[in-house]
Every structure is written in C-alpha cells, then in structure tokens.
Amino acid sequence: MIILGIESSTQQVGAAIGGHEGVLSAAHTSRGRRHAELLTPTIDFVRRSARIELHEISCVAVDLGPGLFTGLRVGIAAAKAMAHALRVPMIGVPSLDLLAFPVRHTSRLIVAAIDAKRGEVFYAFYRQVPGGVQRVSAHQLGSPDDLASELLATPDEVLMVGDGALRYHDAFDGLKRVELADQGFAHPSASSLVQLAHARALREQFVAAWELAPLYLRKPDAEINWTTRDEQGRAE
C-alpha cells in the first residue's frame, strides 16, 4: 500500500510518499506562496526520491483544509486529477488534524490554529489517544480573542500549534498554562498526512475523487453579503 500525500492549505506546499514502512520521502516549501508552480515538481521529486513509480500508488491523500482558499484548491484539484488518472481512491484529512498529530506525545490539551486572514483563525481542540490524537471540538472560525477567551475558561495545560497561534501570539502570550509551539510546528505536514491516511486506508475509509470536498468553513463574501441583504429585506 503506497500512499501519496498532498498538502497545500497554508503558505506551505508539500508532498510525501509512504506506506507500511512509514514515510519514504517528503518535501515542503513555505516561501513565496507558489503552490500551483511547485506542487507537480514536488510530487515528482518525492516519488523519484523514494524510487516509486506513479502506478504503484494505491491511494491519494489530501489536506482538506480549512486554510487559504487558493492554495487549498491547488492541492485538491491536483489530488483529484491524480486519483482519477491513476484510478485509485482518496482519503481527505483536515489540516488542523495534521497540525495536531506531530505533537500527539503530549498529555496537554492541543489547540491547532491556522491563520484565516482578516484577523481570524481556524481552530480546533485535540486530545492524545493511543497512536494519535482525537478532535474534541468542532472546526471553528473566530478571532484570536474568541479563542483566548475559550482558553481562559479551560482548566487544562494547553499546547498551541500552527501559524494562526504564532501570528496572533499577542492574544495568547499572557495566558497562564498556555505554551506556543515554535515555527517547526507551524504548518500541516505531508508526512503526517501519509501516516494518518495509512491508518485509515487499512480500515478502507476511502472516498472517490468526485465525493471529496474541501473544508472551507467560510462562505464566499458575496453569499455572506447576500444573506445579510436577504435578512435585512425581510426585516424591513
């Protein structure tokens, strides 16, 4: 079982390839927001480095978001096309799960936060479970201050990961019992994606390319404005 993993939901873009032997090759680039340019060469690089032929791939895993829309779509569009052309199934994993997974060895409450721009973060809470992490909240979108208030209310020791935590560290710096993980944990990793997808592949938790949908967590502005207008229209 060889799995190709593609992640592109933050300013980083990456790919990894692996299977039951673990991750065989991985590469990430976080500079320049050049997802569309870099993704295909990165995929080709990791599979050549691991000496894997593309037809040996039996599943394409992809980061579903939430994250930066354009980058996210580059990864998902490429992953769907590859899965279709290779005639293999897909596995989608949320970006916040990918952020939490590398810090699974802590017993603290894990908070994964991705910069959602416009002064907001996408975030979710996680707990350590045997072999990984389990999400213990919904995926949420809110201001760093909203998140800080939630953290104030929790009695737990907290470890925060993700570029959303780092970008808005001012909101969290003053909180007792809260530690921010460094830059090394700022972006979802394609290696984590391959590891998590492998566990799901063993349980055959696949989806078809046309069924896989991104997690946006935010409506297009036009729809938000339209809804507001509708509501105002009804109120008048």
Binding other proteins (rule: CB under 8 A), the pick from 15, 78, 109, 160 is 78
User: Closest separation between CB of residue 211 and other proteins, Å?
Assistant: 10
Does the footprint of other proteins cover residue 89 (CB under 8 A)? Answer: no
Does the footprint of other proteins cover residue 81 (CB under 8 A)? Answer: yes
Number of residues near other proteins (by CB under 8 A): 36
Does the footprint of other proteins cover residue 151 (CB under 8 A)? Answer: no
Of residues 43 and 121, the one with the C-beta less far from other proteins = 43
How far the first Cα of the chain sits from its last, in Å, is: 60
Binding other proteins (rule: CB under 8 A), the pick from 3, 79, 96, 113 is 79
- Round to whole Å and give the CA distance between 138 and 236: 34
Bond from prior residue into 41 cis (ω within 30 degrees of 0): no
Sketch the per residue contact string, 162 through 201, with other proteins: x for CB under 8 A, - otherwise: ----------------------------------------
Binding other proteins (rule: CB under 8 A), the pick from 15, 61, 74, 158 is 74
For the chain, helix, strand, coil in percent to 5 are 40, 25, 35
Bridge partners of 111, per DSSP, are: 125, 160
Of residues 42 and 111, the one with the C-beta less far from other proteins = 42
Give burial (CB, 10 Å; 0-12/13-18/19+) of 227.
Answer: exposed
Structure tokens at 145: 């201050």
Structure tokens at 41: 């060469």
User: Closest separation between CB of residue 27 and other proteins, Å?
Assistant: 14
Q: Which 31-50 positions form the footprint of other proteins (CB under 8 A)?
A: 34-41, 43-44
Task: Choose the binding region for other proteins from 19-27, 107-115, 181-189, 206-214 (rule: CB under 8 A).
Answer: 206-214
Contacts of 101 (CB under 8 A, 6+ apart): 132, 133, 192, 195, 196
H-helix segments, 34-68: 35-49
Residues binding other proteins (CB under 8 A): 34-41, 43-44, 54, 69-70, 73-82, 84-86, 209-210, 213-214, 216, 220-223, 226
